[in-house]
Structure 1
Amino acid sequence: MCLSRIQSLRLVAVLEDCSHQLEILGHILAMRIRRERPAQEKAKLRKLTRDCEYISQLMSKLHLELEEKQCFSSLLQAVEEVEQRRRDTNMKREEMKQVDKRRQTLLKQQEELQQKTLKLQVIHHEANKKDHLLKMRSKENIKENDTGLQLRKIQSETSQAEALLEGQLELLKKQLKEEVRVHEESQKFLLKQHEELQQLLHELQKHTEQMVQEKSKQLHNMCFKKDLNLDRLEDMKMKFKEMEQMVMEDREEQEKLYQQQARIRAATKLQAWWRGCIVRRGLCGFKKAEKGKKGNKKERRKKKK
């Protein structure tokens, strides 16, 4: 359905006013939800906020449609969708009711079946008791008729069992005799082994005593040798210390001699260096003295001649 331009503009203005009011209402609901309230009241407020959001979306679509096409088909479509949802919800409710009714009927049927099964079990139990009684009576009658035959069978079986037992008794006697013979032979054999082992033990004891005596002698000799070696070791240690002391003294004397020789060498080198310095610098006094010394030596030689 199409509208004129003026009608559409009027509706747009109304829708804008309604959208503003819905926004204000949404803010108010949000503030109330944030506050501490009971759970049921919060659920109702949240449902109202969802409804407001849905209506605002529809109004925005309708606003655009009125501005562009000058019609409100989206509103009609939304109304149809809402009605369809209501129908669906009603259908679901009816289906749920039917399901509940079926469930109740099934429960009733189950209860009836349970009662019937209990009755059948009671009847079956009674029938089993009757059958058992009949069987017991029939067995008693059969036993009364067959007692004579059973006695004869028992007598024959007992005679056969006695014969078997006598045969088994004879076999056991033979086995007992054989076991006694084997026991005597094994006892004799064990006695012989015991005597042989006693002799061997006596010989081993003698041998061990001899070995112990020999080892004790060897140990005594080893201890004596050990003492001698220790004495020798002490003597060697003393001699080694004396030799070491002598070596140390020799080293000290050699070091002293080496130091004296080094000092003499250093003094001679120093004197030679000093004489060289004097000669190079031309100090005559030293030369004249040397010449005088040489002349004196020659005169002395002449006098000796």
Structure 2
Amino acid sequence: MSLSRIQSLRLAAVVEDCADQLEILGHTLTVQIRKERGDSADQEKARLTKLRRDCQSITQQVSLLHVDLEDQQCITSLLQLGEEEEQKKRDDQMRREAKKELEQRNQALRIQHEETQEKKEKLKDLSKQARDLQHKMEDLSAKMAHRKKLEEKNLQLQLQQTQREGCQAEKLLEHEQELLQRQIKEEMRVHEESETFLQRRNEEVQQQQEQWQQSTKQRLQEKEQRLNTESCKRTVNLDRLMEMKRMYREMEQVVMEDREEQEKLRQERAKARAVTKVQAWWRGCMVRRCLGSFKKEEDKKGKKKKKEGKKKKK
């Protein structure tokens, strides 16, 4: 990328200024690194040295860019630096991807190894269980053979015992038949006695039921009579109550009419008193001011003379 002479000079001045500032920054970092002392300052020294290395590399790139701008009027070094950085980024990305893929493969191999170990352990357990089952089957077969022999001996003994007990069983059956006949006779006797007892008890219950029915009928009749008398009394009381209500309404109406008449009389009396008071007040005013028919005779004579004098003048 070629630039004009003015543009290249301007950029060269700017780049030179940046280089100077970077050199100043590098010197300050070296001074600060020398000042750091002690065990606690190791991390800070490592950080400052890394910054100084970065500053030096940037200074070199800036000086190359300055040379290109002054001599060739281009920024090829900057473009190359950008391409190198992109290549580094791609390489780093590829390395990270390869590392990640390797880790995934290692993880898959570890998982596969763990699965194989688990399968081996399961196979060991299964083989152990198979051996245990085989031993158990052998024990069971031996036990079954021994048990079969014992059952055969037991059957032989039972056959011999049943042959011996046959005679005794016949005797026992005869004895049991006699006992059953006796029990049947006893049960028949008890059944007859219980039947007679139940018949007597049934007759007593029937008699008692008839008595209860008669007593309930009598009680129902008494209750009906009482109910009729109470209903008659209630009707009479209701009639009396209605009559008393009618009389109360009539008396209330009379009292209301009397009150209305008394109120009218009171209002008329109040009006009459008010009228008499107004008339007395008006009469007093007329008397005090000598108005109307209450004028003095002298005043009347003087007024007459004045009227006659006025007529003569005319």
TM-score after normalising by structure 1? 0.49
